Chain A
Amino acid sequence: MKKKDINEIEKQMKLANEGLPEKERALFSDARPSSVAPLNKYLEGFLNWARSRSMWMLAFGTGCGATELRPLMTSRFDMSRFGIAPRPTPRQAAIFVVGGYASIKTIKRIVRSYEEMQGPKYVIALGSCTINGGMYYDSYYTINRLDYYIPVDIYIAGCMPRPEALIAGFNRLKEKIRAGECEGMNKYTDNFDWYKKNQKQIIKDWNMPDYNW
């Protein structure tokens, strides 16, 4: 293939950043996210072992889910004995905990925080509302299925699930990470256009870059 053709293809691959005003577009990257292949079997196995034992989570507490996340770090449930630690910023976290129903206003922030996390990143979705809408299935402003907007690794059913259920979910995620089954980030980048189409379908005033690196 000629070099000129490659340049043109690359130009088409660039993100439009249509939501941003013209003068701000230069401030944000328009590069598409690219998937990163896992390393060889043994090295990736070793890293997965470390990742499964040091789980840094970003708790995105929406509604009642936030109430069930807080007791996790108290002395009664004590998540730190499993190596789970809360991180206050998405840059450092590896596990994204979506705590319950997500309105459209919230899903905008969820997408943004999820994309700001540095991968490999895993998503835990709490409660029935993230699975099929739960008791908000007929609401005009809460989404029904979270996995149409960001890839989800573990669902914890319940309305709301108790902290014990959360710990069970974390342990299940731990097993999945050890087995190397959690490739949510690569799934997101491979199906990037599909996820973006779904997100833009409900977020009408898209005023952020197409990919929040």
Chain B
Amino acid sequence: MEQILNRIKDKIEIKISTKKRDDLYFFTVEKEQIEFILSYLKEQENFTHLAFMQAVDYLEDGKFQLTYMLYNYKIHINLGVNVLIDRKKAEMFSMHKLWPHIWQYQREIHELFGINFPGSPRVNESFVLEGWEEIPPMRRDFDTLEYSEKTFYQRPGRSTNDPKEYMKEKMYKNYADTPTIRREK
């Protein structure tokens, strides 16, 4: 994998490269180079399988991050290719010529994030939201709670508890410390 990364580095400039696991790598490239790098990875380096494509909204930076998750069946490695695009001019090249099934992901992202993919087939059809009229709901400046309260009828009498306090009160009254969930660091 290191060799592949070095070979890519010879060709284009990679901004950030991280290794999450032995078989899981991520790197970030420029928007203009994404078409070249994806076709290079598919044709030359055997990353033939596009597992999924996803978007993340970085509201503070004013960017969307698109992730193309590729898989190599020869050396069994997952590779995520990230690309940051401007939030104000949310537009991306369509990759349906490389992987035909990507149109479905692009349609989903177009609907939920409002990122445009010019030329992608059937991209304007509604995916899960039928007749949606607000701004795309997965953008982080969309307030779902406010929208829900405005649109759907609330049943009065709903109450929420802090899980930690509630568990201490109900289940672990006799213990000195409340057991907490341990997460691996």
Could you say which residues of chain A place their CB within 8 Å of the CB of B147? 140
Most chain A beta-carbon neighbours within 10 Å: one of B130, B144, B145, B158: B130
Decide yes or no whether B128 CB sits under 8 A from chain A: yes
Smallest CB gap from B128: residue in A = A105
Cβ contact within 8 Å between B131 and A205: yes
How many residues of chain A are within 8 Å of chain B by beta carbon? Answer: 23
Could you say which residues of chain A place their CB within 8 Å of the CB of B153? 144-145, 148, 198
Cβ contact within 8 Å between B130 and A132: no
Known contacts A137-B148, A148-B153, A202-B151: does B158 contact A132 (CB below 8 Å)?
yes
Q: Mark B104-125, 1 if CB is under 8 A from A, else 0.
A: 0000000000000000000000
Minimum C-beta distance from B135 to chain A (A):
11
B133-183 with Cβ < 8 A to chain A: 133-134, 137, 142, 144-145, 147-148, 151-155, 157-158
Q: How far is the CA of A144 from the CA of B149 in the complex (A)?
A: 9
Q: How far is the CA of A203 from the CA of B130 in the complex (A)?
A: 8
Cβ contact within 8 Å between B158 and A204: no
Could you say which residues of chain A place their CB within 8 Å of the CB of B126? 205
Binding site for A on B (CB under 8 A): 126, 128-134, 137, 142, 144-145, 147-148, 151-155, 157-158
- Which of A105, A131, A145, A205 makes the CB contact (< 8 A) with B152? A145
Cβ contact within 8 Å between B155 and A132: yes
Minimum C-beta distance from A100 to chain B (A):
16
Q: How far is the CA of A144 from the CA of B132 in the complex (A)?
A: 18
Could you say which residues of chain A place their CB within 8 Å of the CB of B151? 201-202
Q: How far is the CA of A135 from the CA of B131 in the complex (A)?
A: 24
Could you say which residues of chain A place their CB within 8 Å of the CB of B148? 133, 137-140, 144
Could you say which residues of chain A place their CB within 8 Å of the CB of B133? 204
